[in-house]
């Protein structure tokens, strides 16, 4: 015993003395992280405290950009709008995705082929999808209004009305990303033990009870992963909104990202845009922390 | 010996196979993608009009005095820069397509090799700003919009003054003729201090497209005044038959153009040359109310989300009696493949407003990057791109009004014109009353965006005066800062 621990101490000391050498091994990783993560961040922070418009002098203005944002009603209104879009683009795919996973978990003919078809939207390029949907939403020549007219439903304005633009855009997100939730949940379902179900059947539980009291709690950890991934994706969603509505009509679908893009690339206000980035990052970070804490709390194996 | 595969062996083989597949995939991904077919030959029918989004200028065409290219006897030589290579940053529009299609001609004429890039307009504008601001440009010659970028480029001196070339007989082709350019075209490319930043290629005027059939059916005369527009819209509006009295840009940013075009009828500039905002003046409010009335009461549902392309399809489908927009849309409207109103379109010169009759205009041209090391060859390209032959080609394609006067009488261009002669008459008539519609300021895009939101709110029923006041308050500090 004594000998072992002494040997251990000696070994540790030796390792400690060689630490300086080992440190060099992490140098490349540190350099890369500094170049691609730390430096851009510091640079963004620096830009956010400057009045910087491409083509004009750069002037240090402290926190003025943030102060302007705090009172800018247009920017402030993008926050609830972004959250509204995010909630729709997370909840609907989660509900539909769980349902789809339950369906695809059953045995039926051609299941493999149908699963493949079901996940196809996920593989398409968002911009291409957005262009196709733009044509489908077109008020005069769009196929959606034509289809509605076949069943006697009046023409809808889709993305051409301030009231329906966000749900319509969320619809495109739902169409594209429900398969992702389905895949994650399906993986979870496949890993579940069969014994609880057998006992449940013996106890006379019906399908809903088995889902509610066995399946749902067991797939919850997988669902949380799906929710976290979807939330981050929906928050930063840009391409679909930009291509289909460009934030319009008016500012009805102007999310934080669209506002940010306008400031940076249309108005060339780099300083102001960087301040938006900092605020946006803080929001995302806060949400991520909340979701991670929620996930920890929900761990069933604790 | 048994051929049974051990677990270890199996894993090893799988790994090798996996690596092979992965590398194949990576190699495949890295393989050069086939060259995107360089700008498909510009079909006779230009896909889209050029100046989609529009923007500003205050200065009503100041006459430009540039020494006309003097005696052509001097030794001008197209081959002077033989062997050089330049980069041209164009836009994906009819002009760009035509230049790319005939690029060989330029290369054979001059011996200069040209690398031409044609991004979409919005992306091109971002690229320009970022590269110019960095003090280094990957292009030598650039196609840009005066109504959007004139002040930004002029203020920063990002494009080279071409007066030295214009005054140098060895640098101007004898038959090129600077004086063939219209006054408006010259004014567009001239800075307040007299510098000439570019060669103007194209001018776009606001006109009213009218559906003759719908007008005739209800015996309504074509509009000659703003009041006529409103009353015609009212009379022809019949939503039960899917016919709307009026259509135009309602989408934020794009719609500001429409309001500025109409505002010229009150004979004021939205921002005058001393940078005073006239945006809350009684005229501006009156004009906004007219915009609101037309768009809210007589336009198709959802017009608040319409840019020129949605407006174009509503008109092309025969669903709108009038459409107010740039002059460059005739070709698609006269193409049986994309239009149901072929032969039924009246091209009406912008009617007279309460105080004056002006055709709001926008314009594009080509300049030489101030950072280019090959300014000479780049200038040659500008010259060629705005040559009589090239502008006649653009004209024949129906892409809009050209900066040269001679194209309107060019027999070949007139013969191959893809649009009716009536359109040419409208273009020529508009040229006589052309006036810049958008202000020549740096933050043009913010201007269009902020007032665009106000106008869009008006379509939704908001009060015109309140919205304009709010937008003006928001925009004022931005304008002041940009000129500080």
DSSP string, A54-71: TTS--EE-TTHHHHHHHH
Are A78 and A42 members of one domain? no
Are A44 and A77 members of one domain? no
Question: For testing the chain A interface, which of B125, B149, B302, B317 should be mutated: the one with the most A CBs within 10 Å?
Answer: B302
The predicted model gives B406-425 an average pLDDT of 87
Provide the H-helix boundaries in A152-194. 165-190
- Is residue B166 predicted with pLDDT exceeding 50? yes
A140 to chain B nearest CA, in Å?
Answer: 7
| Structure letter (DSSP) for residue A212 | I
Query: Is B338 near chain A, with CB under 8 Å?
Result: no
A165 to chain B nearest CA, in Å?
Answer: 10
Are A160 and A33 members of one domain? no
Structure tokens at A31: 């350099």
A122 to chain B nearest CA, in Å?
Answer: 19
Are A29 and A158 members of one domain? no
Element (H, E) at B113: strand B113-117
Say which range, A152-156, B9-13, B398-402, has the weakest mean pLDDT.
B9-13
A87 to chain B nearest CA, in Å?
Answer: 24
Are A166 and A95 members of one domain? yes
Query: Is B132 near chain A, with CB under 8 Å?
Result: yes
Which residues of chain A approach chain B closer than 8 Å at the C-beta? Answer: 51, 53-56, 74, 138-141, 155, 157-162, 165, 245-251, 262, 265-268
Task: Quote the CA–CA distance of B427 and B288 in Å, as a whole number.
Answer: 26
> Which among A269, A261, A53, A262 is positioned nearest to B155, based on CA atoms?
A53
Are A234 and A178 members of one domain? yes
Upper half-sphere CA count for residue B25 (Cβ side, 13 Å): 6
Degrees to nearest 5, angle at CA B344 with B339 and B350: 100
Task: Quote the CA–CA distance of A252 and A165 in Å, as a whole number.
Answer: 7
A56, A139, A249 ranked by CB distance to B456: nearest: A249
Q: Is the dihedral of CA A5, A10, A13, A15 positive or negative?
A: negative
The structure's pTM equals: 0.81
Question: For testing the chain B interface, which of A52, A55, A67, A73 should be mutated: the one with the most B CBs within 10 Å?
Answer: A55
Q: How far is CA B69 from the centre of its chain?
A: 28
> Which among B414, B387, B419 is positioned nearest to B207, based on CA atoms?
B419
Are A92 and A206 members of one domain? yes
**B7 CB-near residues (< 8 Å, 6+ apart):** none
In this predicted structure, what is the pLDDT of residue B3? 47
- Is residue B49 predicted with pLDDT exceeding 70? no
Output Rg (C-alpha) for chain B, integer angstroms.
Answer: 26
Give the range of the structural domain holding residue A202, as residue numbers without chain letter: 65-297
Say which range, B88-92, B240-244, B271-275, has the weakest mean pLDDT.
B271-275
Q: Tens digits of per-residue pLDDT, A38-71?
A: 999 999 999 999 998 887 888 899 899 999 999 9
A27 to chain B nearest CA, in Å?
Answer: 28
Judge contact between A243 and A133, C-beta under 8 A.
no
Number of domains in chain A: 2
> Which among B466, B205, B481 is positioned nearest to B360, based on CA atoms?
B205
- Is residue A77 predicted with pLDDT exceeding 90? yes
Are A93 and A193 members of one domain? yes
In this predicted structure, what is the pLDDT of residue B93? 86
Residue A8 is assigned to a structural domain of this protein: yes
Chain A residue with CA closest to B154: the answer is A55
Q: Is the dihedral of CA B67, B72, B75, B78 positive or negative?
A: positive
B132, B302, B457 ranked by CB distance to A250: nearest: B457
- Is residue B56 predicted with pLDDT exceeding 80? no
CB pairs A-B closer than 8 Å: 89
Helices B282-297 & B226-236 angle (0-180, nearest 10):
20
A292 to chain B nearest CA, in Å?
Answer: 33
Contact A160 B302 (CB under 8 A): yes
In this predicted structure, what is the pLDDT of residue B133? 87
Judge contact between B256 and B452, C-beta under 8 A.
yes
Residue A290 is assigned to a structural domain of this protein: yes
In this predicted structure, what is the pLDDT of residue B472? 96
Helices A165-190 & A111-123 angle (0-180, nearest 10):
140
Highest-confidence segment of B25-39, B174-188, B231-245: B231-245
CATH number at residue A85: 1.10.3720.10
- Is residue B12 predicted with pLDDT exceeding 70? no
What are the chain A neighbours of B306 within 8 Å (beta carbons)? 160
Question: For testing the chain A interface, which of B129, B244, B305 should be mutated: the one with the most A CBs within 10 Å?
Answer: B305
A162, A250, A267 ranked by CB distance to B446: nearest: A267
Chain B residue with CA closest to A263: the answer is B446
Contact A159 B305 (CB under 8 A): yes
What are the chain B neighbours of A245 within 8 Å (beta carbons)? 305
A264 to chain B nearest CA, in Å?
Answer: 9
Residue A54 is assigned to a structural domain of this protein: no
Contact B317 A266 (CB under 8 A): no
Are A33 and A165 members of one domain? no
Structure tokens at B48: 């889209």
The predicted model gives B228-242 an average pLDDT of 95
Contact A245 B305 (CB under 8 A): yes
In this predicted structure, what is the pLDDT of residue A280? 93
Residue A264 is assigned to a structural domain of this protein: yes
Place of tokens 């510091």: A42
Cβ atoms < 10 Å from Cβ of A279: 19
Please, what are the domains in chain B?
78-204+361-436 (3.40.190.10), 206-358+442-483 (3.40.190.10)
Query: Is B21 near chain A, with CB under 8 Å?
Result: no
* Cis previous bond, A249, omega within 30: yes
Judge contact between B245 and B233, C-beta under 8 A.
yes
B194 to chain A nearest CA, in Å?
Answer: 21
Task: Quote the CA–CA distance of B331 and B83 in Å, as a whole number.
Answer: 38
> Which among B333, B45, B85, B127 is positioned nearest to B210, based on CA atoms?
B333
- Is residue B30 predicted with pLDDT exceeding 60? no
Q: How buried is residue A75: exposed, middle or buried, by Cβ count under 10 Å (0-12/13-18/19+)?
A: buried
Are A128 and A234 members of one domain? yes
Phi, psi of A184 (to 5 degrees): -65, -45
Residue A221 is assigned to a structural domain of this protein: yes
A53, A159, A251 ranked by CB distance to B453: nearest: A251
Are A14 and A149 members of one domain? no
Contact B301 A138 (CB under 8 A): no
Helices A2-17 & A19-33 angle (0-180, nearest 10):
50
Give me the interface pTM, i.e. the ipTM: 0.81
The predicted model gives A64-89 an average pLDDT of 94
Contact B445 A248 (CB under 8 A): no
A53, A139, A266 ranked by CB distance to B301: nearest: A139
Query: Is B25 near chain A, with CB under 8 Å?
Result: no
Distances (CA, A) of B85 to A272, B88, B139, B381: 39, 10, 11, 11
Residue A35 is assigned to a structural domain of this protein: yes
- Confidence tier at B144 by pLDDT (50, 70, 90): very high
Mean pLDDT of chain B: 85
- Determine the number of helices (DSSP H) and then strands (DSSP E) in chain B: 19, 10
B129, B251, B445 ranked by CB distance to A248: nearest: B251
B209 to chain A nearest CA, in Å?
Answer: 18
Are A38 and A163 members of one domain? no
In this predicted structure, what is the pLDDT of residue B9? 59
């Amino acid at each position: 015993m004594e000998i072992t621990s002494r040997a251990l101490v000696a070994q540790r000391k030796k390792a400690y003395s060689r630490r300086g050498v080992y440190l060099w091994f992490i140098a490349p990783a540190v350099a890369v992280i500094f170049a691609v993560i730390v430096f851009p961040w510091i640079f963004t922070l620096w830009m956010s405290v400057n009045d910087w418009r491409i083509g004009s002098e750069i002037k240090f203005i402290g926190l003025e950009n943030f102060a302007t944002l705090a009172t800018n009603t247009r920017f402030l209104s993008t926050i609830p709008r972004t959250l509204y879009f995010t909630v729709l683009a997370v909840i609907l795919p989660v509900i539909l995705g769980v349902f789809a996973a339950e369906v695809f978990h059953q045995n039926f003919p051609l299941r493999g082929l149908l699963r493949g078809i079901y996940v196809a939207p996920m593989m398409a390029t968002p911009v291409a999808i957005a262009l196709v949907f733009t044509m489908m939403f077109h008020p005069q020549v769009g196929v959606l209004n034509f289809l509605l007219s076949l069943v006697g439903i009046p023409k809808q304005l889709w993305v051409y009305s301030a009231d329906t633009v966000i749900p319509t855009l969320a619809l495109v997100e739902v169409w594209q990303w429900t398969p992702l939730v389905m895949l994650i949940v399906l993986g979870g379902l496949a890993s579940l033990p069969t014994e609880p179900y057998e006992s449940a059947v013996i106890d006379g539980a019906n399908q809903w009870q088995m889902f509610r009291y066995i399946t749902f709690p067991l797939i919850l950890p997988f669902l949380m992963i799906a929710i976290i991934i979807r939330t981050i994706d929906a928050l930063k969603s840009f391409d679909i909104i930009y291509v289909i509505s460009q934030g319009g009509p008016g500012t009805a679908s102007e999310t934080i990202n669209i506002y940010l893009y306008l400031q940076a690339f249309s108005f060339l206000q780099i300083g102001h845009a960087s301040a938006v980035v900092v605020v946006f990052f803080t929001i995302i970070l806060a949400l991520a922390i909340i979701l991670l804490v929620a996930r920890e709390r929900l761990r069933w194996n604790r | 010996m048994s051929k049974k595969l051990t677990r270890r062996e199996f894993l090893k083989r799988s790994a090798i196979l996996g690596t092979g597949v992965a590398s194949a995939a990576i190699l495949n991904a890295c393989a050069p993608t086939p060259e995107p077919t360089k700008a498909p030959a510009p079909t006779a029918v230009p896909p889209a009009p050029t100046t989609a989004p529009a923007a500003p200028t205050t200065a009503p065409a100041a006459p430009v005095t540039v020494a006309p290219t003097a005696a052509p006897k001097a030794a001008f030589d197209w081959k002077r820069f033989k062997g050089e290579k330049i980069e041209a940053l164009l836009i994906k529009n009819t002009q760009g397509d035509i230049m790319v299609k005939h690029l060989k001609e330029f290369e054979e004429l001059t011996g200069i090799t040209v690398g031409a890039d044609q991004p979409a307009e919005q992306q091109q504008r971002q690229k320009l700003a970022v590269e110019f601001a960095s003090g280094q440009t990957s292009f030598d010659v650039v196609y840009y919009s005066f109504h959007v970028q004139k002040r930004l480029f002029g203020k920063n001196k990002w494009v080279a003054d071409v007066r030295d070339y214009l005054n140098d007989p060895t640098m101007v082709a004898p038959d090129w003729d600077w004086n063939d350019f219209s006054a408006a075209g010259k004014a567009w490319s001239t800075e307040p201090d007299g510098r000439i930043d570019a060669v103007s290629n194209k001018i776009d005027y606001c006109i009213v497209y009218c559906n003759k059939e719908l007008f005739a059916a209800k015996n309504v005369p074509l509009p000659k005044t703003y009041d006529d527009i409103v009353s015609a819209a009212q009379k022809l509006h019949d939503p039960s038959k899917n016919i709307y009295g009026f259509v135009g840009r309602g989408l934020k940013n794009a719609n500001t153009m429409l309001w500025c075009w109409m505002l010229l009828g009150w004979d004021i500039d939205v921002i005058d040359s001393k940078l005073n905002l006239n945006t809350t003046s009684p005229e501006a409010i009156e004009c906004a109310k007219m915009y609101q009335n037309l768009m809210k009461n007589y336009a198709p549902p959802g017009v608040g989300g319409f840019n020129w392309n949605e407006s174009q399809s509503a008109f092309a489908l025969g669903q709108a009696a009038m459409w107010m927009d740039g002059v460059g849309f005739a070709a698609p409207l006269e193409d049986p493949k994309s239009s149901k109103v072929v032969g039924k379109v009246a091209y009406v010169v912008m009617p007279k407003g309460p105080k004056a009759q002006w055709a709001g205009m926008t314009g594009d041209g080509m300049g030489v990057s101030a950072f280019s090391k090959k300014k000479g060859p780049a200038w040659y390209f500008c010259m060629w791109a705005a040559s009589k032959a090239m502008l006649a080609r653009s004209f024949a394609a129906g892409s809009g009004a050209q900066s040269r006067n001679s194209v309107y009488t060019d027999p070949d261009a007139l013969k191959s014109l893809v649009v009716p002669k009536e359109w040419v008459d409208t273009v020529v008539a508009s040229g006589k009353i052309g006036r810049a519609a958008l202000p020549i300021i740096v933050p043009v895009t913010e201007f269009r965006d902020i007032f665009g939101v106000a106008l869009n709110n008006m379509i939704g029923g908001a009060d015109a005066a309140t919205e304009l006041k709010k937008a003006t308050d928001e925009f004022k500090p931005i304008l002041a800062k940009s000129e500080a």
